[in-house]
Structure 1
């Protein structure tokens, strides 16, 4: 059996955010910090931090890694990442001297927005967006407007910067053309009691994903009939019960494939599948590649060749 080893992301500390890397100096900004950098740059690594980050790629193409998502990016790529969500962008078409400006980034904290939203009703419109950001959100059709707003935020200070940021945030809140990049989330619907029951079941599934359980058992646990459970589960998650469990287990498998050297066969059983062929089939269906190919491509999140 292969020996597990840590392949986790690096935690970014504020002490290392120096102007030489492209950050605004400490004390020169308020609740929204602007960052820009080129490629290559020491900031390009598999990492996470406590803040939200809104990334706009303005030059080069390559591979993007957000949580367990692996995809392609090009100029105009606009993504919001949430707190503690690992991410990295690796450019693959860079000219010999590199590029001076690849990323335009805004960083902002969670607590200030949530505290303000409790007092200012209009800001509460942004709360669903913050929840989506836990999974990473890619926006489409906003690149030009976003770049203009990034420039306005960069040039502004104090209350004017906050106003420019609020305008950009409003664009994101009202954008309906987006996709979540990593894992699945609950969706609100009008039956609060049922949603609470399903939320409890989802928490249970996340904690016990590797165990065997039937929908009938979970329906009984939630105090619903099977048909009611099935209907409410789909409304809350956007997936059937079976699809949700498969997605959850595959996402857990992705984490093991990225962060350990465990054999793929062992990973299959670790996450609750009892048939390797079924595991491989579900993995290909959900991730668009085999577990072996996913592990190979995931190596590139550190900047090595894929």
Structure 2
């Protein structure tokens, strides 16, 4: 392998498919799960790997401590760690203190699809209350003070079938939607709007910024695209995202830098310019401010997301 190909080697998360969800690994038999799929497993297991899938996943740790990897987030977990990840959001939990013989039960997991809930919410008004939760889950949500309540719900879901199981699931979703003690694990978030028009406008702005964040533009350029004066846009954007325009763009660029640092071997200096920063010193300063570590340290720690085989 030459140096160019080595520097651009891609290390993407494994995409999990139904065919790989073998009951011998802890999954329910396919005929049992319906729109919900319950899973529990211990370690060692081949399920502990850097991966993603189309479903939401509610993940409760009941034993061991270690490092948690969700998207570009790196943190610590211990028993009681409760996280909801959204579709295609890569994740992994790597235990650092397993006993020599492993543990029989480390993870309680519930997977559920996006489309059925959104389709049902258009006809069942009560379900619209969970839509903000689903939006937040795209960035990964860590909940606090909920683990015992959620464990009870998960055990009931495991033991039930049909309508009773779905009713337990709806109660669980309601508990999570009402929880105010949580944090998002992504570097960028959007806040909800009460009206669809404002949400659509904001989504269009954020989509444009996301697609073009490596390019050079000013707030004046973006406010003109939105049909607002700079002062109007500044107030609107701050209210909508919780960030100033400059901070939001910096977070988008750092978010993209994290992806490149995790998935390629490109030099840090190259990543800096790839994501739209004009000098390495400013890039390093912003990265440290947002992620709490340098780009080199982030890459080194991120290597742990693969763990060991088993």
Contact 1:69 1:182 (C-alpha < 8 Å) held by counterparts: yes
Contact 1:29 1:158 in 2 (8 A): no
- Distance in 2 (CA, whole Å) between partners of 1:142 and 1:90 is 22
Q: Please state how far the C-alpha of 1:18 moved relative to its aligned partner.
A: 1.0
Equivalent residue in structure 2 for 1:280, among 278, 284, 294: 284
Q: Which residue of 2 aligns with 1:17?
A: 21
Identify the residue that residue 267 of structure 1 maps to in structure 2.
271
Partner Cα distance (1:158, 1:301) in 2: 36
Deviation at residue 257 of structure 1 after TM alignment: 0.2
| TM-aligned CA deviation for residue 194 of structure 1 | 5.1
Instruction: Tell me how far 1:191 sits from its aligned partner.
Output: 6.8
Instruction: Choose the corresponding residue for 1:42, options 46, 52, 58.
Output: 46
Matched, 1:111 2:115: yes
| SS across alignment from 2:266 | coil
Partner secondary structure for residue 9 of structure 2: coil
Is 2:76 aligned against 1:72? yes
- Paired residues for 1:240-251 under 5 Å: 240-251=244-255
Shift of 1:189: 3.4
Q: Which residue pairs with 2:137 in the alignment?
A: 133
Match of 1:290 in 2: 294
Partner of 1:188: 192
The structural deviation recorded for 1:258 is 0.3
> Which of 197, 202, 205 pairs up with 2:206?
202
Q: In structure 2, do the counterparts of structure 1 residues 235 and 75 end up closer, same or farther at CA, with 3 Å as the change threshold?
A: same
Residue 154 (str. 1) matches residue 163 (str. 2): no
Alpha-carbon distance between aligned partners in 1 of 2:231 and 2:271, rounded to the nearest angstrom: 32
Q: CA deviation at 1:193?
A: 5.0
5 Å matches for 1:59-98? 59-98=63-102
1:121 CA displacement: 1.1
Q: What 5-or-longer segments of structure 1 have no aligned partner?
A: none
| Corresponding residue for residue 171 of structure 1 | 175
Q: 1:94-132 CA deviation, whole Å, 9 max, x = no partner?
A: 110001000000011111111211221111111111111
Output the CA distance in 2 between the equivalents of 1:231 and 1:99. 52
Aligned equivalent of 1:257: 261
- The runs of 5 or more residues in structure 2 that have no matched partner are none
DSSP-derived class of the 2:164 partner: helix
The separation in 2 between residues aligned to 1:67 and 1:140, in whole angstroms, is 20
| CA RMSD of superposed structures (Å) | 1.5
TM-score computed with the length of structure 1 as normaliser: 0.96
How has the CA–CA distance of structure 1 residues 227 and 286 changed in structure 2, closer, same or farther, with 3 Å as cutoff?
same
Give 1:211 deviation, angstroms: 1.0
Please, what TM-score do these two structures have when normalized by structure 2?
Answer: 0.95
Change (3 A) 1:304 1:294: farther
Alignment of 1:216-231 (within 5 A): 216-231=220-235
Out of 99, 105, 120, the position equivalent to 2:103 is: 99
Structure 1 CA distance for aligned equivalents of residues 262 and 209 of structure 2: 22
